[in-house]
Amino acid sequence: SQQGEEDPQALSIQEGENATMNCSYKTSINNLQWYRQNSGRGLVHLILIRSNEREKHSGRLRVTLDTSKKSSSLLITASRAADTASYFCATRISGGTSYGKLTFGQGTILTVHP
């Protein structure tokens, strides 16, 4: 089964608006990562947040992590048509026999209209 679950499954916005995607997970993690996938291509890493961090920024990206609620959010500010893609959260498990395992959620499809 997948570790992370993204919400919403699909998001459609206008250029210039902000896009927020959420991720929930089940087990203890070492870190949480967000990836982007353009249609028909491999995944590209966007940002990583460690389990002892609460917020991180990278350009127009802002990620928050709430380990008590086992949830994270990705905010893309001032979105552009080029941001249209699928976004996935991934968690690196911190305990158990599969320590270091990297598992992905189902993703959010973001469409930004010009």
Q: Does 100 bind other proteins (CB under 8 A)?
A: yes
**d(C-alpha 114, C-alpha 111), whole Å:** 10
Residue nearer to other proteins on the CB measure, 74 or 107: 107
Q: Does 105 bind other proteins (CB under 8 A)?
A: yes
Look at phi and psi of residue 40 and say left if phi exceeds 0, alpha if psi is from -120 to 50, else beta: left
Structure tokens at 55: 């917020």
Which residue in 33, 79, 84, 91 binds other proteins (CB under 8 A)? 33
How do beta strands 108-113 and 10-14 pair?
A: parallel
Binding site for other proteins (CB under 8 A): 2, 4, 6, 30-31, 33, 41-45, 48, 50, 88, 90, 92, 97-107
